[in-house]
Chain A
Amino acid sequence: MEATLVSIIAAAAPLIYAAVGEAITERAGIVNLSLDGSILLSAMAGFAVAFTTGSVGLGFLVAAVVSSLVALIVAWSGIGLRLNQVAVGFVLTLLGAALSAYLGEAFAHQPGPSVPSTPIPFLSDIPIFGRALFGQNLSVYGSLILVVVAAWFLARSRIGLQLRAVGERPEAAHARGIDVNRHRYVAAVVGGALVGVAGAAFSLDQKLGWSDGHTAGYGWIALAIVIFGGWQPIRVAIGCYLFGALQVVALRLQDDLPGLAQILPSLPFPLMIFALVVVNSAGLRRLLSRSPRVSRWLLPEPPAGLGRNFVPE
């Protein structure tokens, strides 16, 4: 039980960075669909830098910069060029994957540095959840802190409120003197940086090393979890832990079902997407529409201005 909890919290950490980062970006009205390619690229870059310099921290930093640049292209295409953010994001998904394969070839299948384990004394000895919460490493702690900080930031802080307004009703924000597009750029870059941290958290911690297509699929899962989690960091984190749990279960089952060992690790991906499908299904919506309170909690609406480019008159 304890060991399972430890693995779930750890396995979900990279996804949390990506999904919470994307949630922040989408809350401000920008869709960064490039996640799957962006994570691959930053995972490769983070690993390559850490491998070359020996510095894990530098690896994380470069990974964050790489993915925030990708996010910047998406934001600029929408804000500056008024293009469809989904189209540009998709092209960047593929380009990111291709670039990571090409540039990362020299680093593929190499043993490299990793985030060292740093259990917190005493706290990690608490039974049941002590090791899960306090017996991990900085990357995992960071994911836990991020959830709390992001939830507070979006719900309570002044800038968080402005970001939400910019994504919900840009006209209202504009009329109050808030620079809509500057906020959107910032949200895209910050969210992108977190996506990059996710990449490094894979290649330098949870899925050590690099090979072609190393983290493929996780970006799509993160995007799905953002919807599943209703653009709220805490619910997004719950989605990530659910996925982490599915992965841990699939891994455990490998010994019992040797015939399926090859495909078990990939099963959580369709399962997660179809969890989203069920949540979004018209039937469930109709069922829940009778109780507005429950339905508001279970079936949140996306930010009203999501993906809509804002042009001041």
Chain B
Amino acid sequence: MNRSIGSRIAGVLAPIIVALAATIGLLLLADAPPLEALKLIGEGAFSGSTRFSDTLMAWAPVAIAGAGLVVTFAAGLWNIGVEGQIVAGAIAASLAARTVGGDTPIVLTVTIAAGVVGGALWGGAAGVLKVRGRVNEIFGGIGLGFVAQAFATYLIIGPWKRAGVASTSGTEPFRPETWLPTAFETRLAPIAIVLAVAALIGVGLVMRGTRFGLRLRAVGSNPASARLLGVPADATTMRAFLVGGGLAGLAGAVIVTGVQHKLVPAIAGGRGFLAVLVVLLAGNLVRWVGPIALFFAAISVGSSQLQLRLDLDSSLGAVIQGLLVLAAVLFGGWFARRQTLVRRI
């Protein structure tokens, strides 16, 4: 498969152009000036240290969850339950933040570790359903997501409600000791960035150089053959869920300690699903997860400016992300299809 440079460039440019054209169409539909809107998104994401730090803080959880998804996708698992695993991680982190006393280093370590454990538990549950119960991970994951979400809402309006009022706007903010320290007088928490980079590099190393990474891909390719080649397929599947869930839980903990500082009902806020889009666009290659997640985080943060400045719904960002991935996937298939046709002739 020798793809020429020209078709490679076309494969990258075509989806961007199509998504851009569709976005401009949607903006015109809403009587909004397209160029100004796109400029606002860019400015909203990158102009000024405040906004850039917001973008980076939006990037970190998506990149962390995306790194985890690379592991599960490699094993052939559609871990759509990642959204619920983020919620589970956030709940566990909140529990630790509410109960553990002491100074910042101790509390933060425990809180973040709790988040990892919570997410891994939820991922592990999807794994048990898959391995023991033969339940497709898509449905297991969605079902567990419903449970995590309902539980979070219950905690917020029930046991963890704010003094006096039961409100779905979230719990009381946790003690400042549980907050990730910020830098440069912005909301940027360097620890979150370090954790995200570590997750990406760690998963990259695992996939490239370890037997576990190779086994993941073997199970993803064909579990029956993998078993014959001595790969413990079920155990590998379970580990993939535990790692993927654990990283999603870490993302949840980063959201709680670095962004929200409390538990809110929409604590995951679609970041897990966004991470799925990122990983799909990255072709499950971990080196692309970081940059694409940054691009998508910029679109998310930038589009919130549209609401303030142009009175456009901020969901335009999600529309652009979805269009980009859809166009990329379809064009990818189209180019591959054309290649095989050309080769056949």
Touch A–B, Cβ below 8 Å:
yes
Residues of A within 8 A of B (CB): 33, 73, 77, 80-83, 86-88, 90-92, 94-95, 97-99, 101-103, 105, 212, 217, 220, 223-224, 227, 259-260, 262-263, 266-267, 269-270, 273-274, 276-277, 280-283, 285
19 A-B pairs besides A266-B150, A277-B129 with CB distance below 8 A are A73-B330, A87-B329, A94-B276, A95-B319, A98-B315, A98-B318, A98-B319, A102-B313, A220-B139, A220-B142, A260-B158, A262-B168, A263-B153, A269-B146, A269-B150, A270-B143, A270-B146, A270-B147, A280-B133
Is B154 an interface residue when CB atoms closer than 8 A count as contact? yes
Is B321 an interface residue when CB atoms closer than 8 A count as contact? yes
Distance in angstroms between the alpha carbons of A277 and B143 in the assembled complex: 9
In the bound complex, residues from chain A placing their C-beta under 8 Å from that of B150 are 263, 266-267, 269-270
Counting chain A CB atoms within 10 Å of each CB, the highest count among B154, B318, B333, B337 belongs to: B333
Distance in angstroms between the alpha carbons of A301 and B148 in the assembled complex: 30
In the bound complex, residues from chain B placing their C-beta under 8 Å from that of A262 are 153-154, 157, 166, 168
Q: How far apart are B130's CB and chain A's nearest CB, in angstroms?
A: 10
- In the complex, 28 of the A-B residue pairs with CB atoms within 8 angstroms, ordered by the A residue number, are A73-B326, A81-B330, A88-B330, A90-B276, A92-B322, A94-B273, A94-B321, A98-B319, A99-B319, A99-B322, A102-B26, A105-B315, A220-B142, A224-B142, A262-B153, A263-B150, A263-B157, A266-B149, A269-B143, A269-B146, A269-B150, A273-B142, A273-B146, A276-B135, A277-B129, A280-B133, A281-B135, A283-B133
- Cβ-defined contact, A77 with B333, below 8 A: yes
Distance in angstroms between the alpha carbons of A33 and B142 in the assembled complex: 12
Answer whether A82 and B322 are a contact pair too, CB < 8 Å, given A90-B276, A277-B133.
Answer: no
Closest to A80 in B: B337
- Cβ-defined contact, B139 with A273, below 8 A: yes
- Cβ-defined contact, B322 with A91, below 8 A: yes
Residues of B within 8 A of A (CB): 26, 29-30, 78, 80, 129, 132-135, 138-140, 142-144, 146-147, 149-150, 153-154, 157-158, 166, 168, 270, 273, 276-277, 280, 312-313, 315-316, 318-319, 321-323, 325-326, 329-330, 332-334, 336-337
Distance in angstroms between the alpha carbons of A52 and B321 in the assembled complex: 29
Closest to B274 in A: A94
A83 touches which of B26, B139, B329 (Cβ 8 Å): B329
Distance in angstroms between the alpha carbons of A94 and B146 in the assembled complex: 17
Q: How far apart are B72's CB and chain A's nearest CB, in angstroms?
A: 14
A81 touches which of B142, B313, B333 (Cβ 8 Å): B333
In the bound complex, residues from chain B placing their C-beta under 8 Å from that of A97 are 318
Per CB-CB distance, the 10 closest pairs between chain A and chain B, nearest first, are A273-B143, A95-B322, A81-B333, A98-B318, A101-B315, A270-B146, A83-B333, A105-B313, A281-B133, A269-B146
- Cβ-defined contact, A102 with B139, below 8 A: no
In the bound complex, residues from chain B placing their C-beta under 8 Å from that of A99 are 319, 322
Q: How far apart are B188's CB and chain A's nearest CB, in angstroms?
A: 27
B80 touches which of A90, A270, A281 (Cβ 8 Å): A90
- Cβ-defined contact, A277 with B139, below 8 A: yes
Closest to A272 in B: B143
Closest to A277 in B: B135
B329 touches which of A77, A212, A217 (Cβ 8 Å): A77
- Cβ-defined contact, B330 with A266, below 8 A: no
Q: How far apart are A82's CB and chain B's nearest CB, in angstroms?
A: 6
Answer whether A95 and B313 are a contact pair too, CB < 8 Å, given A77-B330, A266-B150.
Answer: no
Q: DSSP class of A's interface residues: helix, strand, loop or mixed?
A: helix
In the bound complex, residues from chain B placing their C-beta under 8 Å from that of A273 are 139-140, 142-143, 146
In the bound complex, residues from chain B placing their C-beta under 8 Å from that of A281 are 132-135
Closest to A281 in B: B133
In the bound complex, residues from chain A placing their C-beta under 8 Å from that of B132 are 281-282
In the bound complex, residues from chain A placing their C-beta under 8 Å from that of B330 are 73, 77, 81, 83, 88
- Cβ-defined contact, A212 with B315, below 8 A: yes
In the bound complex, residues from chain B placing their C-beta under 8 Å from that of A82 are 333, 336-337
A224 touches which of B139, B323, B329 (Cβ 8 Å): B139
- Cβ-defined contact, A282 with B134, below 8 A: yes
In the bound complex, residues from chain A placing their C-beta under 8 Å from that of B319 are 95, 98-99, 102
Distance in angstroms between the alpha carbons of A92 and B322 in the assembled complex: 7
In the bound complex, residues from chain A placing their C-beta under 8 Å from that of B144 are 270
Answer whether A282 and B133 are a contact pair too, CB < 8 Å, given A81-B330, A98-B318, A98-B319.
Answer: yes
Q: How far apart are B297's CB and chain A's nearest CB, in angstroms?
A: 16
- Cβ-defined contact, B321 with A98, below 8 A: yes
In the bound complex, residues from chain B placing their C-beta under 8 Å from that of A83 are 329-330, 332-333
- Cβ-defined contact, B134 with A263, below 8 A: no
Distance in angstroms between the alpha carbons of A103 and B325 in the assembled complex: 19
Q: How far apart are A224's CB and chain B's nearest CB, in angstroms?
A: 6
In the bound complex, residues from chain A placing their C-beta under 8 Å from that of B143 are 224, 269-270, 273-274, 276-277
- Cβ-defined contact, A94 with B139, below 8 A: no
Distance in angstroms between the alpha carbons of A90 and B69 in the assembled complex: 15
Q: How far apart are B69's CB and chain A's nearest CB, in angstroms?
A: 12
In the bound complex, residues from chain B placing their C-beta under 8 Å from that of A94 are 270, 273, 276-277, 318, 321-322
Distance in angstroms between the alpha carbons of A77 and B315 in the assembled complex: 25
Distance in angstroms between the alpha carbons of A267 and B157 in the assembled complex: 15
Distance in angstroms between the alpha carbons of A80 and B336 in the assembled complex: 11
Distance in angstroms between the alpha carbons of A276 and B146 in the assembled complex: 14
In the bound complex, residues from chain B placing their C-beta under 8 Å from that of A266 are 146, 149-150, 153
Distance in angstroms between the alpha carbons of A33 and B332 in the assembled complex: 20
- Cβ-defined contact, B140 with A217, below 8 A: no
Distance in angstroms between the alpha carbons of A263 and B166 in the assembled complex: 13
In the bound complex, residues from chain B placing their C-beta under 8 Å from that of A283 are 133
Distance in angstroms between the alpha carbons of A105 and B154 in the assembled complex: 28
